[in-house]
A = this chain, B = another copy of it.
Amino acid sequence: MATLTYLTTTHFDFGAIGQLPAELQKAGISKPFIATDQGVRAAGLVDAVTNTFGTGMELSLFDGTPGNPTEEAVMKAFDQYTADGCDGVIALGGGSSMDLGKAVALLAGSGGPLAQYDPLVGGGKLIKAVAPVIAVPTTAGTGSEVSVGFVIILDDGRKMTFASPLFIPKAAICDPELTMGLPAGMTAATGMDAVTHCIEAFLAPTINPPADGVALDGLWRGWRYLPTAVRDGQNREARWQMMMCSTEGALSFIKGLGAVHAMSHAAGRIKRLNLHHGTLNAVFLPAVLRFNEPESGDKYPRLRQAMGLKPDADIADAISEMNATIGLPRGLRAMGIEDADIPELVTYAKQDLSALSNPRRASDDDFEAMINQSL
């Protein structure tokens, strides 16, 4: 069992789920609210969690998290949290469930509405308290279990990123066993989410060498093991490494992310399509790598090194090849995006928190060009 003590306590290994009761107790949670979704429940993972409890543990189960968490779902969950007298959250699932859980914890500690906490307008100052959260990822993944942020589509359509050290879960329980049943498609999509976190965090211009180191280590692991994890979901080594890549990606994105995430968040708003965040990241990444290169100094050789590429290799090409290898779509059109979607994509990408830490400032035209290159 590796216990990593950075900003949070992370129990990481097969069997880590056994640490859950102790962490609940440490966090003072006696009536947990389990924030999850129907897929996780159907996969038997809610049972995996509750099987660790002794008899008599009261809990409130909410499995209504949609594919991309909405303010509506958060409010419904919060109403249940309040009605059931809960005192903390177990956020169990992929990024959507974990983010919904974090949002409920914020409302429980500081009250609504959500939008007031927008970090782009200094909303962090309004946070009074946050109910304790124990995060249990079932994908590899967003790394939300160790991150300062969560993303919710507000009622007014904005996909808002909330960020504060107060949102870091009290503990993260990273048990790769919970990902053994993750289908190949989800393994590929969430795996590329993790890889993208490592790359975008590393390229963000914020000075934080330890985070750079963590990002490159995560990239090294993820790049090596993703094809195996997709091809052979029962490969335990690959599942462990992908979860570590995911956790490291989120530990490192304390530096910020970039244009890939800005565009993925924008595209994630499109209701009719309900696109997966990880798949979008994978598809946008090559164009952004080409766009960023002139302003990324000595970083591209280190990326190549971490990925085991030749010194003259084109990293964007390598990403496209990986996407094809693991069965991700060739581009946005294959995912259902149409020309008519593009103007709004540009608008929302430009306002996204992640755009601020892209190494190269992107204008409306730049975003439009990158979107076109990703079609």
Chain A interface (Cβ < 8 Å from any Cβ of B): 2, 4-7, 12-13, 165, 206-218, 220-221, 244, 247-248, 251, 254, 302, 305
- Choose from B6, B216, B221, B247 the contact partner of A7 (Cβ within 8 Å): B6
A209 touches B254 (CB 8 A): no
Give Cα distance in the complex from A208 to B210, angstroms: 13
Q: Is the CB of A210 within 8 A of B251?
A: yes
Nearest B-chain residue to A207, judged by Cβ: B2
Given contacts A214-B214, A305-B305, contact A209 B7 (CB under 8 A): no
Residue of B nearest to A211 (CB): B4
Contact B213 A248 (CB under 8 A): yes
Closest Cβ–Cβ distance, residue A194 to chain B (whole Å): 13
Give min CB distance, A25 to chain B, whole Å. 20
Q: Which 6 A-B pairs have the closest CB atoms?
A: A213-B217, A213-B213, A2-B207, A213-B214, A210-B214, A6-B6
Count copies of this chain in the complex.
Answer: 2
| Sample of 8 A–B contacts (CB below 8 Å) | A2-B206, A4-B210, A5-B7, A5-B254, A13-B207, A209-B248, A210-B213, A213-B213
Residue of B nearest to A10 (CB): B210
The CA-CA distance from A371 to B258 in the complex, in Å, is: 50
CA distance A91 to B113 in the complex (A): 46
Interface hub of A206, A210, A220 (most chain B Cβ within 10 A): A210
Q: Which of B165, B218, B220 contacts A5 (CB 8 A)?
A: B165
Partner of A217, one of B5, B216, B218, B254: B216
Chain B's nearest CB lies how many Å from the CB of A209? Answer: 5
Given contact pairs A2-B206, A214-B214, a sample of 16 additional A-B residue pairs in the complex whose CB atoms are under 8 Å apart: A2-B208, A4-B208, A5-B7, A5-B165, A6-B6, A12-B207, A13-B207, A209-B218, A210-B217, A210-B247, A212-B217, A213-B213, A213-B214, A213-B217, A216-B216, A305-B305
A290 to chain B, nearest CB (A): 25
Cα separation A220 to B302 with both chains bound (whole Å): 10
A251 contact set on B, CB distance < 8 A: 210
Closest B residue to A215 by beta carbon equals: B213
Tell me the complex Cα distance, A209–B247, Å: 10
- From residue A3, how far is it (CB to closest CB) to chain B in Å? 9
Who on chain B is nearest to A251 by CB?
B210
**A70 shortest CB reach to chain B, Å:** 31
**Minimal beta-carbon separation of A18 from chain B (angstroms):** 17
A7 / chain B contacts, CB cutoff of 8 Å: 5-6
Smallest beta-carbon distance A87→chain B, Å: 27
Contact status A213-B209, CB under 8 Å: no
Query: Roughly how many angstroms separate A263 CA and B95 CA in the complex, as a whole number?
Result: 47
Tell me the nearest residue of chain B to A217, going by C-beta. Answer: B213
CB nearest to A254 among chain B residues:
B5
In the complex, chain B residues whose CB is within 8 Å of the CB of A5: 7, 165, 254
> In the complex, which residues of chain B have a beta carbon less than 8 angstroms from the beta carbon of A2?
206-208
Which listed residue, B165, B209, B211, touches A244 by the CB 8 Å rule? B209
Q: Please, how many angstroms separate the alpha-carbon atoms of A104 and B305 in the complex? A: 44
The CA of A208 and the CA of B218, in the complex, are separated in Å by: 11
Closest Cβ of chain B to A322, distance in Å, is: 20
